[in-house]
Amino acid sequence: MYQHYEARERRGWAARLARLLAVAAVFVAVFVAVVVVVRWGEVERPVSETDGVKQVSTVKDANLAVYTGEGWEERFWTGMNLGATLPGHAPGELAPTREDYLRWFAEMEKMNVDVLRVYTILNPEFYEAFSEFNSTREEPLWLIQGVWSPEEELTGDDLEGRDAYTPEITEIFRHEIRDAVRVVHGDADIPERPGHASGRFRSDVSEYVLGWVVGTEWFPLAVDKTDRMNVGIESYEGEFFRATGDVTPFEGWMAWMLDTFAQEEMEYGWQHPVAISNRPTTDPIEHPDEANEQEDLVPVDPMHVEPTGAWKAGYFASYHIYPAYPDFMRNEQKYQDYRTAEGERDPYAGYLNELRAHHEGIPLIAAEYGTSSARGMAHRGPLGRDQGRHTEEAQGEINADLLDAIHQEGYDGGVLFSWQDEWFKFAWNTGPLEIPDTRRPMWLNRLTNEQNYGVIATEPGESIEDTIHLDGKTGDWERRTGGPDGLGDVVDWVTDRAQGRGAGAAEASYEDFDLGVTHDEAYVYLLMKKREGEWLFPGEEVNVGFGSLPGGGAMANQAPGVGFPDGGLQFLLEIKNGEDSNLWVNSAYDQHTWLYGKKLDYMTDPVLEKDPEEGVFSPWRLALNRPLVLPQSGREIPFEDYKVGKMNPGITDPSDPEFDSLADWYAEGDVLEVRIPWTMLGYTDPSTRRVWDYPYEADGIRAVEAGDLRVYPTVRNPGETAPVEVDPLAYTWREWDQPTYHERKKKGFGPLSEEFETHDRVAEPPR
Segment 445-491, tens digit of pLDDT: 999 999 999 999 999 999 999 999 999 999 999 988 765 444 445 55
pLDDT band at residue 307 under the 50/70/90 scheme: very high
In DSSP notation, 193-237 reads -TTS--EEE--B-GGGEEEEEE--PPPHHHHHHHHHHTTTPPPPB
Mean pLDDT, residues 222-233: 97
Does the pLDDT of residue 501 top 50, yes or no?
no
pLDDT the model gives residue 759: 87
Does the pLDDT of residue 766 top 60, yes or no?
no
Segment 160-192, tens digit of pLDDT: 999 999 999 999 999 999 999 999 999 999 999
Cα 484 vs. chain centroid, distance in angstroms? Answer: 37
pLDDT the model gives residue 487: 43
Q: How many helices (H) and strands (E) does the chain have?
A: 16, 39
Segment 600-634, tens digit of pLDDT: 999 998 888 888 988 999 999 999 999 999 999 99
Beta-sheet strand order (sheet of 57-60): 57-60, 63-67, 72-74
Mean pLDDT, residues 257-286: 98
- Top pLDDT among 4 and 385 is at 385
* Selection from 332, 352, 108, 363 nearest residue 210 by Cα: 363
Hey, where are the domains in the chain?
Answer: 71-458+746-758, 509-737
pLDDT the model gives residue 481: 77
User: Rounded to an integer, what distance in angstroms lies between the CA atom of residue 471 and that of residue 672?
Assistant: 9
Please return the burial class of 388, using the count of CB atoms within 10 Å of its CB with bins 0-12, 13-18 and 19+: buried
Segment 76-129, tens digit of pLDDT: 999 999 999 999 999 999 999 999 999 999 999 999 999 999 999 999 999 999
Find the helix or strand (DSSP H, E) in which 274 lies: strand 274-278
* Selection from 490, 513, 493 nearest residue 505 by Cα: 493
pLDDT the model gives residue 22: 53
pLDDT the model gives residue 505: 86
pLDDT band at residue 579 under the 50/70/90 scheme: confident
pLDDT the model gives residue 25: 52
Does the pLDDT of residue 544 top 90, yes or no?
yes
- Top pLDDT among 159 and 763 is at 159
Does the pLDDT of residue 761 top 60, yes or no?
yes
pLDDT the model gives residue 174: 99
pLDDT band at residue 266 under the 50/70/90 scheme: very high
pLDDT band at residue 8 under the 50/70/90 scheme: very low
Does the pLDDT of residue 280 top 60, yes or no?
yes
User: Rounded to an integer, what distance in angstroms lies between the CA atom of residue 412 and that of residue 361?
Assistant: 12
Domain 71-458+746-758: homologous superfamily in CATH: Glycosidases (3.20.20.80)
Cα-trace Rg, the chain = 30
Mean pLDDT, residues 566-577: 95
User: Rounded to an integer, what distance in angstroms lies between the CA atom of residue 242 and that of residue 634?
Assistant: 41
pLDDT the model gives residue 486: 41
DSSP state of 739: -
Does the pLDDT of residue 31 top 80, yes or no?
no
Does the pLDDT of residue 26 top 80, yes or no?
no
Does the pLDDT of residue 499 top 70, yes or no?
no
Q: Which residues contact 716 (CB under 8 A, 6 or more apart)?
A: 540, 541, 543, 562, 724
Does the pLDDT of residue 19 top 70, yes or no?
no
pLDDT band at residue 32 under the 50/70/90 scheme: very low
pLDDT band at residue 657 under the 50/70/90 scheme: very high
Segment 516-541, tens digit of pLDDT: 999 999 999 999 999 999 999 988 99
Mean pLDDT, residues 333-339: 96
pLDDT band at residue 37 under the 50/70/90 scheme: very low
Q: Helix 347-358 crosses helix 392-408 at what angle (to 10 degrees)?
A: 40
Least confident of 22-26, 423-427, 680-684: 22-26
Instruction: Find out whether 471 and 651 touch, Cβ atoms under 8 Å.
Output: yes
User: Rounded to an integer, what distance in angstroms lies between the CA atom of residue 316 and that of residue 575?
Assistant: 54
Whole-model pTM: value is 0.92
Q: Three-class SS of residue 596?
A: helix
Tell me the pLDDT of the chain averaged across its residues.
92
* Selection from 216, 218, 187 nearest residue 204 by Cα: 187
pLDDT the model gives residue 9: 39
Please return the burial class of 418, using the count of CB atoms within 10 Å of its CB with bins 0-12, 13-18 and 19+: buried
CB atoms < 10 A from the CB of 83, how many? 20
User: Rounded to an integer, what distance in angstroms lies between the CA atom of residue 299 and that of residue 224?
Assistant: 9
Mean pLDDT, residues 274-286: 98
Mean pLDDT, residues 537-564: 96
Does the pLDDT of residue 33 top 70, yes or no?
no
User: Rounded to an integer, what distance in angstroms lies between the CA atom of residue 124 and that of residue 113?
Assistant: 22
pLDDT the model gives residue 519: 98
pLDDT the model gives residue 400: 98
Q: Which residues contact 737 (CB under 8 A, 6 or more apart)?
A: 442, 687
Quote the percentage of the chain above a pLDDT of 70. Answer: 91
pLDDT band at residue 274 under the 50/70/90 scheme: very high
pLDDT band at residue 30 under the 50/70/90 scheme: very low
User: Rounded to an integer, what distance in angstroms lies between the CA atom of residue 284 and that of residue 278?
Assistant: 10
Instruction: Find out whether 527 and 480 touch, Cβ atoms under 8 Å.
Output: no
Does the pLDDT of residue 349 top 80, yes or no?
yes
Instruction: Find out whether 452 and 403 touch, Cβ atoms under 8 Å.
Output: no
Mean pLDDT, residues 678-696: 98
Cα–Cα distances (Å) from 758 to 61, 79, 208, 233, 342, in that order, read 22, 13, 23, 48, 18
Segment 188-201, tens digit of pLDDT: 999 999 999 999 99
Helix locations, 276-434, DSSP H: 328-331, 333-336, 347-358, 392-408
Does the pLDDT of residue 226 top 90, yes or no?
yes
Mean pLDDT, residues 349-359: 98
